[in-house]
A and B are shown apart, each in its own frame.
Chain A
Amino acid sequence: MREVAVIGIGITKFGELWETGFREMGMQAGLAAVQDAKLTAEEIDALYVGNMSAGRFIEQEHVAALIADYSGMARDHIPATRVEAAGASGGLAIRQAYLAIASGQHDIVVVGGAEKMTDISDTISNEIQSSAADQQWECVFGATFPALHAMIARRHMFQYGTTREQIASVAVKNHKHGALNPNAQFQKEIEMGTVLKSGMVADPLGVFDCAPNSDGAAAVVLCSMDKARKYTDAPVKVLASAQASDSLALHSRADICTFEATRVAADRAFAQAKLERKDIQLAEVHDNFTISELLAVEDMGFFPKGQAGKATMDGQTTIGAKLAVNTSGGLKARGDPIGATGVAQIVELVQQLRGTAGRRQVDGAKYALAQNVGGTGATAVVHILGVA
């Protein structure tokens, strides 16, 4: 297998982008990434697009060819492939590109991720997100995506004594980070009381425990390591790419306080990268709900099970600590345009490893990790990147 590097990144602002359509967002992020890598169109071998549900959000399928077309790549007839794994679509698209290059099939691949979620009502948008869960055996009975995560939160509180305040501290911390990110949907710090008093969505989770509905796109250019230095003096190396799956329905798991897919993908990634947990200085994790971030950092072995709440509240995952989690603001504050999220995580890691993350820069960042989750943990993708 060949080594793979990231040589270009691009991202749109995340939020309610009423003036920008799906294809324009995808094109903007893609072109920014291609410009960043100083590529010409003829050098691109393939395009992968992470997208969860354009068919339901904007009634448009076949979006990989669409993005290729509007990015000016249709003329070169490059292969354009859409990748779907609900919330993990973006991370999985990156993994497909990684595999294509590592295998020797392609040299340079553009990966985009995009979702347009605010052209429809919040109610419908939430229903589409719930389709990542088991429609026949969860949603039919009234389960929603927040409700399933609320049951994880309540069980975590019951099993480990995690407090409501500890869970809420994830939102406070991620808004603090988001306030430093000019592309974030929410660039405003919030108080603990705001989270605790926010309107109830699914008890115990309120509005401020949930990532927002967002529009946005992100893109990266991957390249074989041996060619990367032709394009950049600062390639970022993909040290590991791992993926795991689990039962679709949350109730089919022996323990809902652990996402086994996350645990397994992280173990595989650390083995591939030949790194230990303590080597990682920053991690972008899938905080689609506050409780999800606690599970993520526990399941990947950064904190013992049941200890992440206290650690987060104590500031052990804030920028400046040994491990900074969700420096971009995470899904909570940066925004969560579903298909774009896993790609945006990689964009953040690359900015940090290049030392260009501005006010949210983690000093001396050398190794960084991204964890991207689909559904209630039925898919997990973990990437580890490092300074080359």
Chain B
Amino acid sequence: MTTARFWRDNQTRYNLMATRCGNCGKVTFPPRNVCPVCHRKSMGKMKRFQLNGEGEVYSFTVVHEAPSAFEMQKPYVLAMIRMDEGVMLTAQLIDVEAADVKIGMKVKATIRKIGEEGPGGIIHYGYKFTPF
């Protein structure tokens, strides 16, 4: 992914920024300008806020056949995490043995290196999750 495309979403990737609809209260991640429930009624009422970074494992897998950018990391644990605020996201689980991962396991976000644009390129950072 090119530098600008990644950079545009850095605030969300670094700080887990979400939006809450001022009309119905629905939380969306990543941030949206329009609430998928309230549509036009939500315009101008989408409030940005930071997720608390804690959640639980909703489902997971161990990736054995990886894209070229993740070749050196395989096998790695990938999970869907339901955050305390109710939204779900997809991220790697780290500092845990694959055999120990369970659905329902409590996890929290941490900032790690996600990838890089070649050996001399920019390093991308973002969230991964660890058990706590």
- Residues on A lying within 8 angstroms of B by beta carbon are 123-124, 126-127, 130, 135-144, 146-148, 150-152, 154-155, 158, 199-205, 247, 249-252, 256
Q: Interface size bucket, B side? A: 35 or more
The 7 closest A-B pairs by CB, nearest first: A150-B61, A251-B88, A151-B59, A203-B62, A155-B59, A200-B64, A202-B61
The contact of B67 among A126, A150, A201, A251, by CB within 8 Å, is A126
The reply to whether B63 and A147 form a contact with Cβ atoms under 8 Å apart is yes
Chain B residues, CB < 8 A from A137: 30, 89-90
If the complex has contacts A136-B9, A141-B126, A250-B90, are A256 and B59 also in contact, measured as CB distance less than 8 A? yes
Question: Within the assembled complex, what's the spacing in Å between the Cα atoms of A260 and B122?
Answer: 39
Q: Is the CB of A154 within 8 A of B103?
A: yes
Q: Are A202 and B80 in contact (CB-based, < 8 A)?
A: no
Distance to closest chain B CB from A271 (angstroms): 25
Please measure, in the bound complex, the distance between the C-alpha atom of A141 and the C-alpha atom of B109, giving whole angstroms.
13
B80 touches A142 (CB 8 A): no
The docked-state distance in angstroms from the alpha carbon of A250 to that of B115 is: 22
Residues in B neighbouring A135, C-beta threshold 8 A: 1
Interface: B3 (CB within 8 A) = no
A-binding segment of B17-25, B46-54, B70-78: B70-78
- Choice from A144, A154, A247, A249 contacting B66 with Cβ under 8 Å: A144
A158→B76 CA distance, assembly (Å):
21
CB neighbours (8 Å) of A141 from chain B are 78, 90-92, 114, 126-128
- Partner among B9, B67, B78 whose Cβ is within 8 Å of the Cβ of A130: B67
What's the Cα separation between A240 and B69 when bound, in Å?
A: 43
B84 to chain A, nearest CB (A): 15
Pairwise interchain contact B59-A202, C-beta atoms closer than 8 A: no
Chain B residues packing against A (C-beta within 8 Å): 1, 5-6, 9, 30, 36, 58-68, 70, 73, 75-76, 78-80, 88-92, 98, 103, 114-115, 124, 126-128
B26 CB, nearest partner CB in chain A, Å:
11
Judged by DSSP, the binding face of A is helix
CB distance from A125 to the nearest CB of B (A): 11
Across-interface contacts of B75 in A (CB, < 8 A): 200
Contact A155 B58 (CB under 8 A): yes
CB closest chain-B residue, reference A257: B59
Q: Which residues of A contact B89 (CB under 8 A)?
A: 137, 251
Q: Which residues in B have their C-beta under 8 angstroms from that of A138?
A: 90
* Residues on the A chain within 8 Å of B98, using CB: 203
User: How far in angstroms is the closest Cβ of chain A from B8?
Assistant: 9
By a CB distance below 8 angstroms, the chain A residues around B127 are 141
Given contacts A147-B78, A202-B65, contact A142 B103 (CB under 8 A): no
B1, A140: Cβ atoms closer than 8 Å: yes
Name the one of B66, B79, B103, B128 contacting A158, with C-beta atoms under 8 angstroms. B103
Pair B103/A202 contact, Cβ less than 8 Å? no
Note all chain B residues with C-beta closer than 8 A to A146.
65
| A202 in complex: contacting residue of B1, B64, B92, CB < 8 Å | B64
Report the minimum CB–CB distance from A172 to chain B (whole Å). Answer: 22
Instruction: Report yes or no: A151 in contact with B64, Cβ–Cβ below 8 A.
Output: no
CA distance A139 to B91 in the complex (A): 9
Complex Cα–Cα for A151 and B78 (A): 9
In the bound complex, residues from chain B placing their C-beta under 8 Å from that of A200 are 62, 64, 75
Pair A142/B66 contact, Cβ less than 8 Å: yes
Which residues of B have CB within 8 Å of A148?
A: 90
Residues of chain B within 8 A of A203, CB atoms compared: 61-62, 64, 98
Task: Identify the interface centre among A123, A202, A247: most chain B CB within 10 Å of its CB.
Answer: A202
